[in-house]
Amino acid sequence: MGKGLGGGSSINVMVWARGHKGDWDHFAAEAGDDAWGYQSILGYYRRIEDWQGAPDPTRRGVGGPAYVAQPQAPQPIAEALLSAASTIGIPVYDSPNGKMMEGPGGASIAELRIRDGKRQSVFGSYVRPLMSRPNLTVLTDALVTRLIFDGKRVTGVEVLVDGERRQFTARCETVLSLGAINTPKVLMQSGIGPEDELQAHGIPVVQHLPGVGRNHQDHLAFGCTWAYRKPEAVGGSGCEAKLYWKSDARLSQPDILQCQLEFSVPSPIETGLETPEHGWTMFNGLAQPKSRGRLRLSGPNTNDPILIEPNSLSAPEDMAAALTAVELCRELGNSDGFMPLVSGETAPGPRDRSGMIDFIRKSAVTYWHQSCTAKMGRDSMSVVDNELKVYCIDGLRIADSSIMPRITTGNTMAPCVVIGERAADLIRTTHSLPNLIGGLTQSN
Ligand SMILES: Cc1cc2nc3c(=O)[nH]c(=O)nc-3n(C[C@H](O)[C@H](O)[C@H](O)COP(=O)(O)OP(=O)(O)OC[C@H]3O[C@@H](n4cnc5c(N)ncnc54)[C@H](O)[C@@H]3O)c2cc1C
């Protein structure tokens, strides 16, 4: 996690991946609210993007806070992925964020949050331009420790600032945006969560909400690597090409996610595989994992670390999809299109089924897309409603990756920006606030 202003967006790989049509329609179905559906969310993307590529007025926006561009001259290895994909019948698109994410998937040059060689963090795009406003205070080195209540109403937060406990009260409402690990931690340590979990740590229960910390999801990656014949330059953020595809034609949307990395990612030591000095990686993974994990407290205090049980690969469907995903990468990476650049495959290499399962289990690493741990929905395990309000509690919303009912198909930053935008709209509506951006009223 990125511990600082901008969170993950200040340390991540800067890939802009908006999610599949089916993801947003699933959000809408779970929330019982079409405002979360794909057609509505396209409106958000049109409003927030400053898209630098070919115009697509239905799907893309220009002039918004989120500068998004493709690399101008992708490295040969990125172009090789596109030609390899097309030779095996995977369609190639101009953009991974337009039509490609409304169907079975495809391959495309990636879209990145890089401008003139510099990272565009979400903090830099949204908050820094407003820092001179008198009604905005940004406090760094400040750790939120718990919520403060008046009965079941949240009235503010307790914060550690320079080792001193301070309280900040909210006139209207409080919004937690601490990410999918720390939002559930602060909720539980404040008394909102599964009552058995809270009682086990002596935390007085304010509200029993069994879904807090459950439903943990992440994309899992298995790095398949090849050695270059000679050192090659690394372009963009190190990732310049993307591929999404289905492990089974009967699926309604892609379940394989692949970011092509233009350097060799070392396999975990357990695999016993050497990393080539000069190489590249298909960071290949599960876009729609079925396994669900959970978060538990190790204690009631701020310094007690949260316990993360990802439970990855516990669902048999995930291993089946992983086997297909690795074989797809091997087929692509060992195809003729890559041969001028590549001297050979270094991981995993040819293996029988049990050898491949062993590779998958030992090489699996996080994509750093933790989410879904305080999900939006209407069942008993839901934590927030369609307006991101925490059930049975007044004056508290959540706006971060923890509210996703199901992880989006692709990297998770852009969907988190949309969640933030939705939260802003909902708060504006609740409190009859004008829509002020840069001092001008902007229509939706
Ligand atoms: C290494 C890495 C690479 C990634 N690459 C990509 C990529 O290329 N593209 C992409 O789309 N996604 C990527 N992601 C994922 C993406 O960055 C996250 O999904 C996204 O940032 C999540 O947003 P969030 O608001 O839920 O939480 P976060 O971005 O984690 O923000 C939470 C914020 O809350 C702060 N915080 C937490 N606890 C407290 C507390 N108790 N008190 C005060 N502040 C607190 C944190 O410091 C942080 O600033 C990557 C993530 C990582 C870590």
What confidence tens digit (pLDDT) does each residue in 39-93 have? 999 999 999 999 999 999 999 999 999 999 999 999 999 999 999 999 999 999 9
| Whole-structure pTM value | 0.97
Q: Ligand 1 centre and the CA of 294: distance in Å? A: 18
* pLDDT at residue 103 in the model: 97
3 pLDDT higher than 60: yes
pLDDT band, residue 435 (cuts 50/70/90):
confident
Instruction: List alpha helices for 240-366, DSSP H.
Output: 316-333, 353-363
12, 370, 419, best to mutate for ligand 1 pocket (most atoms within 8 Å of CB)? 12
Q: CA 404, 409, 415: angle at the middle one, nearest 5?
A: 50
Which of 48, 57, 163, 59 minimizes the C-alpha distance to 113? Answer: 48
CATH class for domain 70-121+219-366? alpha beta
Q: Sort strands 440-441 and 66-68 into parallel, antiparallel or unpaired.
A: unpaired
Helix H or strand E encompassing 21: helix 21-31
Q: Are 220 and 290 in contact (CB under 8 A)?
A: no
Residue carrying structure tokens 């959000």: 27
- Residue 348: cis peptide before it, omega within 30 degrees of 0: yes
* pLDDT at residue 215 in the model: 98
- Report residue 162 as tokens: 């320079």
Q: Which residues touch 407 (CB under 8 Å, ≥6 apart)?
A: 217, 218, 219, 288, 289, 369, 371, 372
Ligand 1 shell residues, CB under 6 Å: 1-4, 7-9, 11-15, 17, 143-144, 177-180, 182, 186, 368-369, 400-401, 411-414, 416
Residue 66 to residue 126: CA distance in whole angstroms: 8
438 pLDDT higher than 90: no
pLDDT band, residue 282 (cuts 50/70/90):
very high
Q: Are 220 and 319 in contact (CB under 8 A)?
A: no
* pLDDT at residue 434 in the model: 82
Among 228-237, 305-314, 361-370, 434-443, the minimum mean pLDDT is found in 434-443
Smallest CA separation from ligand 1 atom 3, residue: 12
Catalytic positions are 369
Q: Ligand 1 centre and the CA of 8: distance in Å? A: 3
